[in-house]
Structure 1
Amino acid sequence: MTDVHLLPPNLPAPPDDGACDHLTGLRFPALPLPATDGRSVDVSGLAGRTVLYVYPRTGTPGVPLPQDWDIIPGARGCTPQSCAFRDHHAELGALGARVFGLSTQTTPQQAEAAARLHLPFALLSDSGGELARALRLPTFEVPGEDQPLLRRVTMVVTDAVIEKVFYPVFPPDQNAAEVMDWLRQPEA
């Protein structure tokens, strides 16, 4: 079994295909999503800054990853990305940002990961794909998965407007540090 906490060497970097170029400046859609803490969260209704990192799926120890997962550019690294946001959660909060993760996994699947990884923030489920369609988020298909998976993108949403987009996100374990660097900029 491959350790889902570690990124293997020589992962293929995802190309910047322009699939998220339209997001900066968009108003975030009013769409409540179920959260792992039992709430329903509508990012568009949150005042201030929200960091929303979007990822394909978290791996579960003892459960094999989808076939050829490591050769799909940008697929591998959801657990290391979540752990990096966990490890930098207090710093992100000190920079005025709340954090959520988002995938198309169900809330029970995400709740397992959130508990196992000791995440101090909630994961949001877009299992029906409503947010992905509303924002035209990029997806990819994987044999054996019953729905398209979201490509990795991180958005900084301020008062319901997408202010900054990180895409493609690579390597995923460095994304939280990139977001913090951007938040520290005087013009951010």
Structure 2
Amino acid sequence: MNQKNLLEVDWSRIPAPVDDGAAAHLVGMTMPPISLVATDDTAVTLSALSGRTVIFAYPRTGEPGKIALVDDWDMIPGARGCTPQTCAFRDLFAELKAAGAKQVFGLSTQSNSYQTEMASRLHLPFPVLSDEKLELTRALDLPTMQVAGLTLVKRLALIVDDSSISHVFYPVFPPDRNASDVLAWLKRNPI
């Protein structure tokens, strides 16, 4: 299936993910001392960051006009919507920062080179982290799905305060509303 427009989605035609409890253990966990490569050519160790950090994770972004990973990608609950989610965080970036997010990161298991192209194409004001080796995913036991032989992170968002996970958004649906939900939570829960 060709991915014509990654942003225009009729969410009523896409199956919503259900809360399978796979993220219930995350609140209160400390970020492990794992360094991930970022699209701004830095290495980020989330456990070393102070203040409030927002991390939104997604299975994988697509490329306009390219073939989807699998023909039924849109029918996998929680798969469709990575680009709309990412663009929503881009569009609300300044407001997220004003509401107390010292750092904002995207996260997926895609390679840094793939993510760097996407970050440039979408004009992202924040870095995207690559967990291509699944180090953070395994250390935190993040919810995952298996698609086409790949392990992909299920869509979620984490609020991390001084390296401790204080809130988790999971499951996330529709994806393009995740950033506004995070922003509303930040405003209700100032540091």
Same fold (TM over 0.5): yes
Report whether the alignment pairs 1:165 with 2:191. Answer: no
Consecutive aligned runs of 4 or more in structure 1 exceeding 6 Å deviation = none
2:10 to 4, 8, 11: 8
Equivalent positions of 1:69-84 (< 5 A) are 69-84=73-88
1:54 to 49, 53, 57: 57
User: What is the Cα deviation at residue 35 of structure 1?
Assistant: 0.2
What is the root-mean-square deviation of aligned Cα atoms in Å?
A: 1.1
- Between the two proteins, the alignment pairs up a number of residues equal to 186
Query: Alpha-carbon deviations, 1:118-138, whole Å to 9, x = none?
Result: 000000000000111000011
- TM, length-normalised to structure 1: 0.96
- TM, length-normalised to structure 2: 0.94
Equivalent positions of 1:133-148 (< 5 A) are 133-143=138-148, 146-148=149-151
Residue type matched to 1:124 in 2? L
Query: Alpha-carbon deviations, 1:8-29, whole Å to 9, x = none?
Result: 3421000000000000010111
Q: Which one is further off, 66-75 or 178-187?
A: 178-187
Equivalent positions of 1:90-109 (< 5 A) are 90-97=94-101, 98-109=103-114
Unaligned runs of 5+ in 1: none
Provide the secondary structure at the position in 2 that maps to 1:173: helix
Q: Which one is further off, 60-69 or 21-30?
A: 60-69
Provide the secondary structure at the position in 1 that maps to 2:176: helix
Residue type matched to 1:75 in 2? A
Q: Tell me the distance in 2 between the aligned counterparts of 1:70 and 1:147.
A: 16
